[in-house]
Structure 1
Amino acid sequence: MAGVWTGELTYGEEFPSEIQNKTKRFRIELEESDGDISGKYFETEGFGIIPDTAEINGFVEEDMISFVKQYPAFYLVNKDGEIKTIDDREPPEINYSGYYNEEKQSFEGDWNMVVEFQQLTFGYAESTVSGTWSMKKEN
């Protein structure tokens, strides 16, 4: 499990139509100890590249993987792929889960993130955005 993994994520249907199905590529440098994984996540190309490194923490059990990705800041991506940092918001936890596909020699799964929107009359309302992802170990 330890090593360098490269992959791609896709923006799901909860995003505005201009963003849906757009992709970006990433690279993860993973360490593993007794099924626990940790590492660094870098976006390399595609739509809405965030320039900062994210932290990865999670686990692998048999053919299943689950991890949380978290950036050092809260970012918004607009329909043109431009990134804006929101200073007064905590960075969200982005949850990834998936399974190893033996035939493709890769992990494949879904990701999701809870996004809060402030309501004027009754506090906060939450909505979730999601998509798909896959990654393969570099040789």
Structure 2
Amino acid sequence: MIELFKHKKSWQGTIFYGKSYGKFLNETLEFDFEIKKIEENYFEAISKDISGFGVNPTEAFIRGEINSNKISFVKKYRNDLMFDENEEFYLSEKESFPIIYKGLYDENSQTFEGDWKMKAKIYLLGIIPIPYNLKGTWKMH
């Protein structure tokens, strides 16, 4: 299945925000995905957000694996995009939390589809870390 990435290096995708995003449930984010390195079943890629809810203007670095029709990868943005109490986005100087993607390739539609999740923290009173999970779905063609 890794042969697929050898023949097609540029992909376009969409993430869909899940229930953990509250009123932003089902908002979408469009992204580009460019394969940079392939070694056996492993790959490295660069992703850039294009449009939609929560566009991070920095690149994301991706490392992943394909086995049969299954794909899994971890995406980390150069700078984390944070959400403040006024529901405004701002860039942090820190690298993002890892975002874990898992999915399947459908040969008929020539599309990857799956789920994504990210463990994040918010800080109560600016000092007490409270962990929480963010989740959603994704597809890429």
Structure 2 length as normaliser, TM-score? 0.84
Backbone CA RMSD of aligned residues: 2.3
Equivalent residue number for residue 18 of structure 2: 12
- The CA distance in 1 between the partners of 2:71 and 2:109, in whole Å, is 16
Q: Which has the higher helix share?
A: 2
Q: Does 1:86 align with 2:92?
A: yes
- Structure 1 unmatched ranges of 5 or more: none
Question: What is the count of residue pairs matched by the alignment?
Answer: 133
Equivalent residue number for residue 34 of structure 1: 40
Q: Relative contact order (alpha carbons < 8 A, sep ≥ 6): 1 or 2 greater?
A: 1
Cα contact 1:48–1:82 (8 A) shared by 2: no
- What is the CA distance between 1:135 and its match in structure 2? 0.4
Equivalent residue number for residue 51 of structure 2: 45
- CA offsets per residue over residues 43-93 of structure 1, 9 Å max, x none? 111112111111000111110000000011221246998531233x55200
What percentage of residue pairs aligned between the two structures are identical? 30
SS class of match (1:8): strand
- The CA distance in 2 between the partners of 1:68 and 1:34, in whole Å, is 17
Equivalent residue number for residue 62 of structure 2: 56
Sort the Cα spacing of 1:79 and 1:40 in 2 relative to 1 into closer, same or farther, 3 A: farther
Sort the Cα spacing of 1:124 and 1:78 in 2 relative to 1 into closer, same or farther, 3 A: closer
Sort the Cα spacing of 1:9 and 1:60 in 2 relative to 1 into closer, same or farther, 3 A: same
